[in-house]
Structure 1
Amino acid sequence: MSDQKRINFSGSSPLEPVIGYSRVVRVGNIVHVAGTTATDSDGSGRIVGVGDMYLQTRQTLRNIQRALEAAGVELKHVVRTRMFVTDISRWEEVGRAHGEFFSDIRPVAAMYGIQALVHPDMLVEIEVEAIVTDA
């Protein structure tokens, strides 16, 4: 039985209590970030970069970075990313933005083409896992 403390970190989404999830869950040195989209950081729910998969990916990764930082974690600790995209033929736009954030970190990554996300203007959703180490 682990005695590692579980800490939930909420984001700005009003859906968290309705659906029953946290933006980030940290247990010891392991950190999971829920599926994150390109919503504006002001909590309005406005989608940044409507129609632009590259801009949505950048905003999504910025949102993830902020969520990690709230949990005392840095991007360098990310070990896995999962990218869900509504048009897999545009994978290079997502990949380019992902590379701008992770080219030196190089987590394992997967990209999945999916039919739709919760809002029709959302083109990208990303979730990450991190392990906090001294290295």
Structure 2
Amino acid sequence: MRQLVSNGNPMEKIVGFSRAVRVGPYISVGGTAPVDAEGKTVGVGDVFAQTTQCFEIIKAALEQAGSGIQNIVRTRVILTDIDNGKEAIEARKKYCVDARPVDTIMAINRFVNPEWLVEIEVDAIIADDA
């Protein structure tokens, strides 16, 4: 079974991507940017707020795929400035402290939108308690 999860972003069809893809019990959520329903950046200049927004989008995608935050097994926190890592991790803890997934934190030069300070990817599973 392959399930494509959309959050209504018109670029999904144009570019050819999904917010998340579920194959069997596995779910991958692609690079999630800190945007609202209209595509506007949330928390400009605020890594904590942006990380929180990313996780709220991820949470909704996981729930749409039949899982949830508690079933995350891997996170990737991608920052434009590694010095913002502490703030990003503080926001991440609100969502991941119980699941304790493996984690990668890295920095890149920039994202497509220069207002974005963070993007997050996760992998999750469908568990018996999902």
- Alignment correspondent of 2:14: 18
Instruction: Work out whether residues 66 and 126 of structure 2, in 8 Å CA contact, stay in contact via their aligned partners in 1.
Output: no
Question: Identity of paired residues, percent?
Answer: 43
Q: Does 1:39 align with 2:29?
A: no
Task: Give the distance between the partners of 2:48 and 2:8, measured in 1 at CA.
Answer: 23
Question: What is the number of equivalent residue pairs in this alignment?
Answer: 129
Question: Scaled by the length of structure 2, what TM-score is found?
Answer: 0.95
Q: TM-score, normalised by structure 1?
A: 0.92
Where 1:125 maps in the other structure, the secondary structure is strand
C-alpha separation in 2, matches of 1:18 and 1:101: 31
Q: Can you give the 5+ residue segments of structure 1 that lack an aligned partner in the other structure?
A: none
Give the equivalent residue in structure 2 for 1:92. Answer: 86
Match of 1:7 among 3, 6, 15: 3
- Kindly indicate whether residue 50 of structure 2 is the aligned counterpart of residue 56 of structure 1: yes
Stretches of 4+ moved more than 2 A in 1? none
C-alpha displacement of 1:64: 0.4
Instruction: Say which SS state the counterpart of residue 56 (structure 2) adopts.
Output: helix
Computed over aligned residues only, the root mean square deviation of the Cα atoms, in angstroms, reads 1.0
Kept in 1, the 8 Å contact 2:67–2:127? The answer is no
Q: Structure 2, unaligned stretches of length 5 or more?
A: none
Aligned-partner residue type, residue 5 of structure 2: F
Larger radius of gyration: 1
| Residue of structure 2 in register with 1:68 after alignment | 62
